[in-house]
Structure 1
Amino acid sequence: MNLRRGRHREEPELNLAPLIDVVFLLLIFFMVTTTFVREAGLDITLPESSAARSAAPEAVEVSVGADGTYYVGEQALINRRPETLAKALREALEAGGGEQQRVVVRAAAQAPHQAVVRALDGVGRAGVERVSIATLRAAEEAD
């Protein structure tokens, strides 16, 4: 048995340079292979009409205000859900002669696109097949 007490063993060293190199290479790999999603958006200004109304008097009007509120005829709806619009539209159609009537959806130029789509969804839920889409005249939007 050879026991030497006077000699100290060297502590093992851990070289971190290769580890840091591997981490940087992984970082560069993930940065290069990552795809960035860019969602495209369109700014749409709805047109204004300068002509007189062309809707027949028997048509039921659904108006969409600039803030997204709905009106069936002259009556404002209590919320913006398509179910509420469909119920109010069914009531207006029953009062005016049935589902064979035409429905005109009018939207303000500043009306959100989502509100117009929800209005069309509500018209579809009411079972209406004859739908026209129009815009409000500039003079009507100021009111």
Structure 2
Amino acid sequence: MRFGVPRRADPVIDVTPMIDVVFQLLLFFMVTTTFISSPGIEVDLPKSSSDVVLGDDDDIDIWVTVEGAVYADDAPVSTEELVALFRRKAKADPNTMVVIKADEGVSHGRVVGVMDMARAEGLSRLAIATEAGDARKDEP
């Protein structure tokens, strides 16, 4: 009776643990990533040397572009719509803050006009958004 030499099985690399680790790393990075909500309106904010951070979900964010367009909540608005928005927000909560994010090239008068509209409808908490930086370096 002839007995053959037992065949050795080909070595197999089990990749299941490696796939588990990769998915756990992927899940970890997805959970720990901070998502920054950036508005869809491109505005170059002026520089400021102060670094006071304001912001609340109840704030009214108003963007004024260098072309003269005004946006509220990422949608273009006319002067009448802006006044109606201010009136509605002032009726709901007169302490609502209006944050004006005006492009660096927007005229001062345009920004003051938006501020006056808000104040006329009863919103007195106004802020102008700027970027952190040394404003004195940009001065002539």
Q: What's the TM-score, normalizing by structure 2?
A: 0.50
Which structure is higher in RCO with an 8 Å CA cutoff and minimum separation 6? 2
Report the structure number with the largest CA radius of gyration.
Answer: 1
